[in-house]
A and B are shown apart, each in its own frame.
Chain A
Amino acid sequence: MLDISELKTVETDVVVVGAGGAGLRAAIESSAQGMKTVVLSKSLLGKAHTVMAEGGLAASLGNTDKRDNWKVHFRDTMRGGKFLNLWRMAELHAKQAPARVRELEEWGAVFDRTKEGLISQRNFGGHRYPRLAHVGDRTGLELIRTLQDHGVHQGIDFLMECTALSLLKDGERVAGVLAYYRETGRFVLLKARAVVLATGGGGKAWRVTSNSWEYTGDGVYLAYEAGAELMDLEFTQFHPTGMVWPLSVRGILVTEGVRGDGGILLNKEGKRFMFDYVPPRFAAETADTVDEATRWLNGDKNARRPPELLTRDVVARSIRAEVKAGRGSPHGGAFLDIASRRPADFIKRRLPGMYHQFMELAEVDITTEPMEVGPTLHYFMGGIRVDADTQMTRVPGLFACGECGAGMHGANRLGGNSLSDLIVFGRLAGKCAAEYARSLSSTPQADAERVKLAVRGATEILNRESGENPYLLHEKLQDVMEEGVGIVREEEDLKKGVLGIEELKERAKNMKAHGTSQYNPGWHEALSMRSMLVTAEAVARAALIRQESRGAHTRADYEGERDEWVKYNIVSRKGADGNMEVEKVLRPAPVKYLEEIANSKIEDLEAGKIGADAPND
């Protein structure tokens, strides 16, 4: 029998699980507050998902258009999120993003510049003004490298390729993390006063996705098992433009920057179809003729935005509708054309990554030919439920930030609002985790039974004589999610999806990984299947309950937004019987000034008729 005193043990104040933008920013803050901080990540430092972000980071610096400010950013975010965002989070985000971006400059980030030598900002869907600070189309790389290079000098301990398996508790509160090193398969017990989860999303449960192997919903699973609540999981964002051909690259992202910089969507008849899909709420602020859209592109400040820059949910559904109507491109997508809109050198300078990606992977030269694109599962708006002002879950000492957290983006995230979310709420989580850790009079003691159970659950997979191949189970789960819980959902399909997941949960109890525990991807895959199944179940069950279509959640059997439903979030947690409980929870009412700003006419907001009394900090 395992004696836990033999496990390698590390004692610290704060453990941060995840080394993407959110985790790194949290660790930097916690360390700056004087707390001993350890960061875990499944891959090497600098390789987290954040590195893949392309288009930019949203902050109302007002460098490119002076009319921008936090109120307009906040209003855009609420409208993009279909008013389901936590009001306070959207407010904090819009207010704090500019300072967080400037701080990155201090740490060495080199954004593209305006003629005046300031940080340049580009247009993106749903943002009224050019708002995305960017570096070509590799903004995520700039963000992660800046935080990494700054972070390694802050006395933080980084445990790379070290995966969290289970959260430890002392009664109600958190007491640390059990993890294992991928390289050796050895377990390590991290005793801590506070834990910050920053593990990113869970897109790998779908087949067509822009997400990497890391996105298996580990944070959601860890929090759920530890007694925290999940929220808004029905809102999974399908990005409208993923690559569709060749098959082996299907799902890889094509940045929204292509459309921000002038790219248009065409069907196989050459028709610019997005004009046919403008939702009423956005009609007043969207161009209704090709001519007006062209004037906008040429910098006419009175022209309205082209319909290609509507929010992602709208564009993704429109492409799907065109394909369903038989007007899709040869491989089942739409054409995205920038070649006929911008000169080749402009494209290569602004979108070097996309140029390279299409050239190398699809043998398509985007400066002369259109790309073929279609929806791809991209982002989780939902995740771990936290308090807006502290980022703490309902488990004392357990915090969450970044993509694995919930609340900031509501029913649909605007492009660029994730990278800014990471640095705003990463910092806040790090700060509050440090304050919490400092406030404890003694270090919590991890429950030894829980540790043993977690170790046994993991090693069983290796020790079993024979069993299910985890890779094939994963493929099966992807079938279930593509069919049952896709971009357009229906009660019948969702129920089948839930059943499919239940069946896979049973089969997963008998997974077998061959070989030893040393750098064994088969074993890692089996362990992450457990997270994926809980995450997938939470998405499917929440999607079944929300009987309306809002943002990224589209129900064929309940079309359109229903006023009744904006009052609720869907929250899930592990019940006393071990099964998932899912329920509608009434949302708190917003403070008055926020409600006024979000609902204002843009002209009134800009003229200062609305929101003048709102506090600016």
Chain B
Amino acid sequence: MGTTRKFKIWRGDSQGGDFKEYDVEVDPGMVVLDVLHRVQSRQANDLAIRWNCKAGKCGSCSMEINGRPRLSCMTRMNAFGADETLTVQPLKTFPVIKDLVTDVSWNYRQNKRIRPLKPKPRGADGEHRMYQEDVDRVQEFRKCIECYLCQDTCHVLRDRGGQDQFVGPRFMIRLASLEMHPLDDDDRIPEIRKEFGSGMCNITRCCTEVCPEHINITDNGIIPLKERVVDRYFDPIVFMGQKLFGISKRR
């Protein structure tokens, strides 16, 4: 009961490549990743794809589908018109390894630059007391599955020069999750500004739009960090925002 659908899949490596067309039988309920697997097992055994959980939990299967950064395991075929050709290509912000697989090691290097939690001492009863309402925000950031779709879409990082100056939305919210962690006893504001480049973000909110975990990256994460920075230093964009658009201070 399947139908045949047309796919244009980018095939190639760091030296270059091109789109190749595939006609694939698609069954009801399939997601794009299922279709790619079918191509892999039947037509192109060596088609390189990254994936693990097939349930939107691991953030491995990121790619660009019809130009939009998406998780291929959570993109259903019926989201597209019945005779629409699907164009599938690797993330643009990171160097291609092969086909749909990119080298995302830059992200791991950024993560390593972030100092770990510096926990406050435990209470007299040996417990760390934290209340749910105090950790809700931190938990929102910790939902991140490191799919790097936000990194892919952020124009600061797309321009590769920007990668030397800004860690990107993923790591801004990781920093926010530490900065707002009730147990963290570290001062992170100076480096958030200087080393990690909070000033580079100009709040376009493109990252928030593509986040499959629906994390409110900009409004709940980056803007409050920028405000904490402003409280100590000066950030022209937040300054303007506060002046012109009435972006309010929180927490």
User: Chain A residues in contact with chain B, CB under 8 A?
Assistant: 43-49, 51-52, 102, 105-108, 110, 112-113, 116-118, 135-136, 138, 140-142, 145, 149-150, 152-153, 160, 183, 212-214, 245-249, 252-253, 353, 356-357, 360-362, 469-472, 475, 513-516, 518-523, 525
User: Across the interface, do B46 and A361 meet the contact criterion of CB distance under 8 Å?
Assistant: no
Cβ 8 A contact of A214, one of B52, B103, B135: B52
| CA of A80 to CA of B145, assembled, Å | 32
Cβ 8 A contact of B74, one of A253, A360, A472: A360
* A-contacting 9-mer, from B23-31, B159-167, B224-232, B241-249: B23-31
Residues of B within 8 A of A118 (CB): 127, 129
| CA of A361 to CA of B73, assembled, Å | 9
Residues of A within 8 A of B58 (CB): 46-47, 51-52, 212
Residue B237 lies at the interface, judged by CB distance under 8 Å to chain A: no
Cβ 8 A contact of A51, one of B31, B40, B57, B178: B57
User: Across the interface, do B116 and A107 meet the contact criterion of CB distance under 8 Å?
Assistant: yes
A-B contact pairs, 14 of them (CB 8 A): A44-B50, A52-B58, A106-B117, A106-B119, A113-B130, A141-B142, A183-B98, A249-B55, A252-B55, A361-B31, A362-B29, A518-B13, A520-B46, A522-B45
Residues of A within 8 A of B52 (CB): 43, 47-49, 51-52, 212-214
Residues of A within 8 A of B200 (CB): none
Residue B128 lies at the interface, judged by CB distance under 8 Å to chain A: yes
| A246-B30, A247-B29, A249-B29 known; A513+B45 contact, CB < 8 A | yes
For the complex formed, measure the closest distance between the CB of B235 and the CB atoms of chain A, giving whole angstroms.
27
Residues of A within 8 A of B146 (CB): 46
Residues of B within 8 A of A183 (CB): 97-98, 103
| CA of A107 to CA of B53, assembled, Å | 25
User: Chain B residues in contact with chain A, CB under 8 A?
Assistant: 13, 27-31, 34, 40-42, 45-60, 74, 76, 97-99, 101, 103-105, 108, 111-112, 114-117, 119, 126-132, 135, 138-139, 142-143, 145-146, 178, 181, 183
For the complex formed, measure the closest distance between the CB of B32 and the CB atoms of chain A, giving whole angstroms.
11
User: Across the interface, do A47 and B60 meet the contact criterion of CB distance under 8 Å?
Assistant: yes
Residues of B within 8 A of A113 (CB): 130-132, 135
| CA of A373 to CA of B213, assembled, Å | 24
User: Across the interface, do B29 and A135 meet the contact criterion of CB distance under 8 Å?
Assistant: no
Q: Which 6 A-B pairs have the closest CB atoms?
A: A246-B29, A522-B45, A515-B46, A117-B129, A471-B41, A108-B117
User: Across the interface, do B101 and A519 meet the contact criterion of CB distance under 8 Å?
Assistant: yes
User: Across the interface, do B98 and A519 meet the contact criterion of CB distance under 8 Å?
Assistant: yes
User: Across the interface, do B132 and A110 meet the contact criterion of CB distance under 8 Å?
Assistant: no
For the complex formed, measure the closest distance between the CB of A487 and the CB atoms of chain B, giving whole angstroms.
22
Residues of A within 8 A of B47 (CB): 521
For the complex formed, measure the closest distance between the CB of A251 and the CB atoms of chain B, giving whole angstroms.
9
Identify the closest chain A residue to B128 (Cβ).
A105
Residues of A within 8 A of B53 (CB): 47, 51-52, 212
Identify the closest chain A residue to B29 (Cβ).
A246
User: Across the interface, do A521 and B29 meet the contact criterion of CB distance under 8 Å?
Assistant: no
Residues of B within 8 A of A253 (CB): 55
Residues of A within 8 A of B49 (CB): 521
| CA of A135 to CA of B34, assembled, Å | 29
User: Across the interface, do B142 and A142 meet the contact criterion of CB distance under 8 Å?
Assistant: yes
Identify the closest chain A residue to B51 (Cβ).
A213
| A118-B129, A245-B29, A471-B40 known; A520+B48 contact, CB < 8 A | yes
| A105-B128, A118-B129, A141-B143 known; A47+B116 contact, CB < 8 A | no
Identify the closest chain B residue to A151 (Cβ).
B116
For the complex formed, measure the closest distance between the CB of A138 and the CB atoms of chain B, giving whole angstroms.
7
User: Across the interface, do A360 and B97 meet the contact criterion of CB distance under 8 Å?
Assistant: no
| A360-B56, A519-B48 known; A110+B29 contact, CB < 8 A | no
| CA of A149 to CA of B111, assembled, Å | 8
User: Across the interface, do B50 and A43 meet the contact criterion of CB distance under 8 Å?
Assistant: yes
User: Across the interface, do B46 and A521 meet the contact criterion of CB distance under 8 Å?
Assistant: yes
Residues of B within 8 A of A525 (CB): 45
User: Across the interface, do A522 and B46 meet the contact criterion of CB distance under 8 Å?
Assistant: yes
| CA of A138 to CA of B134, assembled, Å | 19
User: Across the interface, do A43 and B54 meet the contact criterion of CB distance under 8 Å?
Assistant: no
Cβ 8 A contact of A108, one of B30, B112, B127, B181: B181
Residues of A within 8 A of B108 (CB): 44-45, 152, 160
Q: Please give 14 more A-B residue pairs, beta carbons under 8 A apart, in addition to A108-B116, A110-B181.
A: A45-B108, A46-B146, A47-B58, A48-B52, A136-B139, A141-B142, A150-B116, A152-B108, A183-B97, A360-B56, A360-B76, A521-B47, A521-B49, A522-B40
